[in-house]
Amino acid sequence: MTSNRRTFAIISHPDAGKTTLTEKLLLQGGAIHLAGEVKARGQARRARSDWMKIEQQRGISVTSSVMTFEKDGITFNLLDTPGHEDFSEDTYRTLTAVDSAIMVIDAAKGIEPQTRKLFEVCRLRSVPIITFVNKVDREGRSLFEILDEVADALALDVSPQSAPLGMGGLFTGILDFASDTVTRPEGDSREYLGKREAFAGVAGDLPGDLAEEIELVREGYPEFDLEAYRHGDLTPVFFGSALKNFGVEELIAAIAKWAPPPRPQPAGEEQISPDRDEVTGFIFKVQANMDPNHRDRIAFMRQVSGTFKRGMKLTPSGLGKPIAIHSPILFFAQDRELADTAEAGDIIGIPNHGTLRVGDTLSEKNQVRFTGLPNFAPEILRRIVLVDPTKTKQLRKALDDLSEEGVIQVFYPEIGGQWIVGVVGQLQLDVLVSRLEAEYKVGANLEASPFATARWLKGDQKAMDEFEKFNRANLARDRDGDLVFMAKSPWDVGYQQEKNPDLTFSATKER
Ligand code: G4P
């Protein structure tokens, strides 16, 4: 039942073309239509407008978080990773909810810093990657240079599946190796409009050096190997132009054919298979209402197993008692009949008032606990100082809420009342200050903190107590009450680790 789901994300550096490619994928999948059509269909299809209504009434932007489309019997769930310069834990966590990823690279720029960071997160979890080298309608690097850079920078085998016939002004189409056909630019816009020819008819017209380059690309790299790809050791590489629609068809076909269907998910020692009867899932993202008059949130659950039905009772691990999911936002809702159920691999949006938190497991029997959704050690720590000191209570509520959402992490020092916020990217600090102001009416300033990083402490109780006794000035509790060592420098972490071999100073915390 679950084998027709493909749940994936696109990773890229800003400007590489993620938005353009997303649009083209959705267009090909028929998920977006010409402007007028969207409205007419939306009204005609009640099931689908469920979440649109919520969105309009409450001003939540949930549409772009999960985009579902269907093609040739396969349901594609595309999860959006926020595309800021800076990135937050939100981005990392979204990658815990996908089974594969597309990596978009600009043909002229190659692997850029954010691509690399996101790639590392994928590698940690062995998320298989299909590479899309974009913008070949512009001048780019040579094919070898691009392919070798991907291979060297990311330590991956690359297996080219297509090649552009010239780039920039000389671009005359893309050769797809598998079908041995060429897709051609047409008309003034030089877009791909469906024209495809046999390569045999074209090959003779290519300039000698280009013909040779293409032959070498075709023959000189490893063949595609499904197992190596699924294991995250090899990436198939497609060339194209999202803007001009080249390579998009092939990309969708590759996801359908090669990308893994819903994978088993780790729950401690156990792996929960998508075939398990019971409905299970985990919350990977919580999005608060942007309308300050409401405090509702949407929790996004990645379904891991079972068949979900509207109104079903699930028990969140953080709560211990079951809740009925009466008004889930089902993204796969193009068809009225299907709007009331969801399968493993699908994403369900659950409106709630703060009961559901990132990392929570939801299940029918309350026996499974998914692991592997990490908090990351913040790289930037700031002391938070209230403009109006009487607003402590509001601030605490706001910090707890926002840390629940993954916007920030919060640390309450064991000594003193100076709360500390931690983030992995600068942008999160700006978001924090403006949301405190707008949604909680709390004015706050951020000041330098004496700490450089934080480490979650683990160990047996005795060792923990002992450490706590002597280091209270450098200890804090996170929002769950877990003990955190606040380090003045990375050296400090190493030093303490050496002195306290019974404890682990962990840069991530798994819930
Ligand atoms: P992002 O989401 O990864 O940040 O990238 P986005 O799709 O917004 O694309 C960034 C710019 O690159 C856009 O230019 C877009 O039109 C262009 N672009 C995307 N794909 C292609 C492609 O295949 N070929 C060419 N030639 N251009 C492409 P823009 O709208 O002019 O915005 P900007 O350049 O002013 O940012």
Q: Which of 505, 511, 453, 506 is nearest to 479 (CA)?
A: 511
Both structure tokens of 221: 């790299």
In short, whether 99's Cβ falls inside 6 Å of ligand 1 is: no
Distance CA 131, CA 122 (A): 13
Q: Is 118 in the pocket of ligand 1 (CB under 6 A)?
A: no
> Which carries the bigger pLDDT value, residue 294 or residue 424?
424
Encode 448-459: b = buried (16+ Cβ within 10 Å), e = exposed. Answer: ebebbbbbbbeb
Q: What is the ipTM of this complex?
A: 0.97
Q: Where are the beta strands (DSSP E) in 142-199?
A: 157-160, 162-164, 174-176, 181-186, 191-198
Contact (CB, 8 A) for 347 and 341: no
Token pair listed for 13 = 């550096």
Q: 52 falls in which pLDDT band (50, 70, 90)?
A: very low
Q: Is 16 part of a structural domain of the chain?
A: yes
For residue 91, give the H/E element and its range: helix 89-96
Residues 251 and 333 in one domain: no
For the chain, the domain total comes to 3
CA nearest ligand 1 atom 4, residue:
15
Separation of CA 401 and ligand 1 centre (Å): 35
Q: Cα Rg for the chain, rounded, in angstroms?
A: 25
What is the structure's pLDDT at 63? Answer: 46
Contact 12 CB / ligand 1 (< 6 Å): yes
Site to substitute for ligand 1 among 13, 15, 80, most atoms within 8 A of C-beta = 15
Atom of ligand 1 nearest to the CA of 23: 7
Q: Which of 243, 245, 248 to mutate to test the pocket of ligand 1 (most atoms within 8 A of CB)?
A: 243
Buried b (16+ CB within 10 A) or exposed e, 172-200: bbbbbbeeebbbbbeeeebbbeeeeeebe
Domain-embedded: residue 325: yes
Which one of 363, 384, 405 terminates a domain? 363
* Distance linking the first and last C-alpha atoms of the chain: 30
CB of 271 closer than 8 Å to CB of 192: no
Give residue for tokens 């929570």: 360
Asked whether residue 180 falls in the same domain as residue 201, the answer is yes
3-state secondary structure of 318: coil
Specify the amino acid at residue 63.
T
Ligand 1 mean position, distance from CA 331 (Å): 27
**Tokens linked to 166:** 């010239």
The yes-or-no verdict on residue 433 having pLDDT over 60 is yes
In this predicted structure, what is the pLDDT of residue 419? 95
Residue written as token pair 């209230």: 386
Name the residue with higher pLDDT: 325 or 26.
325
- Closest C-alpha to ligand 1, atom 22: 135
Query: In the 8-state DSSP scheme, what is residue 511?
Result: -
Q: Are 306 and 351 in contact (CB under 8 A)?
A: no
CA separation, residue 248 to residues 16, 93, 110, 255, 386 (Å): 15, 26, 19, 11, 50
Same domain, residue pair 378 and 348: no
Q: Which residue has the tokens 């291979």?
A: 151
> Does 139 sit in the ligand 1 pocket, CB within 6 Å?
no
- Indicate whether residue 22 lines ligand 1 (CB < 6 A): no
Is 130 a domain residue? yes
Closest CA to 363 of 449, 279, 454: 279
Lowest mean pLDDT among 80-89, 309-318, 399-408, 426-435: 80-89
Please answer whether residues 387 and 445 qualify as being in contact, where contact means their C-beta atoms are separated by less than 8 angstroms: yes
Are 245 and 353 in the same domain? Answer: no
- Residue 155 CA to residue 171 CA, distance in Å, equals 29
135 Cβ below 6 A of ligand 1: yes
Please say which residue of 363, 398, 418 terminates a domain. Answer: 363
pLDDT of residue 129: 98
* Residue nearest (by alpha carbon) to ligand 1 atom 19: 17
Which class for 26: exposed (0-12), middle (13-18), buried (19 or more C-beta within 10 A)? middle
Residue 317 has pLDDT above 60, yes or no: yes
CATH code assigned at 311 = 3.40.50.300
Mean pLDDT along residues 209-225? 96
What per-residue confidence (pLDDT) applies to 145? 97
Question: In terms of domains, do 281 and 405 share one?
Answer: no
Q: Mean pLDDT score of the chain, rounded to an integer?
A: 86
- 329 and 205 within one domain: no
**CA 27, chain centre distance (Å):** 21
Is residue 137 domain-shared with residue 49, that is, in the same domain? yes
H, E, C per residue of 185-236: EECCCCEEEEEEEECHHHHCCCCHHHHHHHHHHHHCCCCCCHHHHHCCCEEE
Of 16-25, 85-94, 159-168, 427-436, give the lowest mean pLDDT range.
85-94
Q: Does the residue 368 lie in any domain?
A: no
Please work out whether the CB of residue 401 comes within 6 Å of at least one atom of ligand 1. no
Closest CA to 358 of 172, 155, 509, 181: 509
pLDDT level of residue 404 (50, 70, 90 thresholds)? confident
DSSP SS3 for 348: strand
Burial bucket for residue 393 (CB in 10 Å: 0-12, 13-18, 19+): exposed
The answer to whether 378 and 484 are in contact (CB under 8 A) is: no
* Averaged pLDDT, 144-170: 95
Between the CA of 134 and the centroid of ligand 1 the distance, in Å, is 10
Residue at token pair 């002992």: 466
Helix, strand, coil in percent for the chain, rounding step 5 = 30, 30, 40
Per-residue pLDDT band for 33 (boundaries 50, 70, 90) equals: very low
Contact 115, 383 (CB under 8 A): no
Tokens of 89: 């834990």
Q: What is the pLDDT of residues 272-291, one digit of tens each?
A: 999 999 999 999 988 775 45
**54/195 same-domain check:** yes
Cα-to-centroid distance, 89 and ligand 1 (Å): 25
Tell me: do 381 and 358 sit in the same domain: no
pLDDT at 84: 52
Q: Which has the minimum average pLDDT: 54-58, 90-94, 222-226, 305-309?
A: 54-58
Give residue 24 CA to ligand 1 midpoint distance, Å.
Answer: 12
Say if 66 falls within a structural domain.
yes
Ligand 1 close to Cβ of residue 81 (< 6 A)? no
Asked if residue 257 and residue 380 are part of one domain, the reply reads no
Assess whether the C-beta atom of 243 lies below 6 angstroms from ligand 1. yes
pLDDT, tens digit (0-9, with 9 covering 90-100), for 95-111: 889 999 999 999 999 99
Q: 72 φ, ψ to 5°?
A: 45, 45
pLDDT attached to residue 289: 57
Q: Are residues 251 and 279 in the same domain?
A: no
CATH code assigned at 441: 3.30.70.3280
Q: Is 134's C-beta closer than 6 angstroms to any atom of ligand 1?
A: yes
* Residue from 349, 335, 253, 365 nearest 303 by CA: 349
How far is the centre of ligand 1, averaged over its atoms, from the C-alpha of 431 (Å)?
A: 25
Pick the more confident residue, 6 or 296: 6
Residue 32 Cα to ligand 1 middle (Å): 19
- The answer to whether residue 393 sits within a structural domain is yes
Residue 86 pLDDT level (bands cut at 50, 70, 90):
low
Q: Which residue has the higher pLDDT, 63 or 48?
A: 63
The answer to whether residue 473 sits within a structural domain is yes
- The percentage of residues in the chain with a pLDDT greater than 90, rounded to a whole number, is 60
Residues 310 and 456: their CA atoms lie apart, in Å, by 38
What is the distance in A from the centroid of ligand 1 to the CA of 18? 8
Residues 74 and 215 in one domain: yes
Tracing tokens 């379904």 back to the chain, one arrives at 303
What pLDDT score was predicted for residue 509?
76
CB proximity list for 159: less than 8 A, separation 6 or greater = 221, 222, 223, 224, 225, 229, 234, 235, 236, 237
Q: Global pTM?
A: 0.79
Domain final residue, candidates 328, 363, 398: 363
CA-to-CA distance for 249 and 28, rounded, in angstroms? Answer: 8
For ligand 1, atom 29, the nearest C-alpha belongs to: 15
- Give residue 205's domain range: 5-261
The atom of ligand 1 lying closest to the CA of 138 is 26
Query: Please, are residues 426 and 437 in contact by the beta-carbon 8 Å criterion?
Result: no
Q: Is 11 in the pocket of ligand 1 (CB under 6 A)?
A: no
In a domain, 322, yes or no: yes
